[in-house]
Amino acid sequence: MRDLTGIHSSPSLCDRYWWSTFAYGMPKCSFNQIFGLHQEKFAQRKIKFLRPNLVVIIDVPISVAMQRMKKQGRKLDHHEKPKKLKVVRKNYEFLQNRGLDDSINVD
């Protein structure tokens, strides 16, 4: 993990951040367990946990996502199976409903 202490905030865009960690990790742990672990790890390293100004969720039906991945010719990993994606989608909805960060859905 890179130490971001003292770095001034500037616009940035990333395709994965803490929301995806939670959405994919919550089937094994609760939100509070994962959030507590993040807080603990950042505190140990004396790093400020940067929160996004906006989270953009690309929300398409799982069948559409599967078609897109197959069209790319990719071999699907264990996170990209329909059963797993259904759980992940519910976890993103859970996070969005908590109002933790500003978020929007696009399709």
Say yes or no to pLDDT of 2 above 70. no
Contact between residue 4 and residue 46 where contact means Cβ atoms under 8 Å apart: no
This prediction has a pTM of 0.73
pLDDT digits (tens, 9 = 90+) for 15-63: 778 888 888 887 677 888 888 887 888 888 888 777 788 889 999 999 9
Dihedral pair phi/psi, residue 18, rounded to 5°:
-65, -30
Check if the beta carbon of residue 102 is closer than 8 Å to that of residue 55: yes
DSSP element (H, E) containing 98: helix 82-98
User: What was the pLDDT predicted at 1?
Assistant: 45
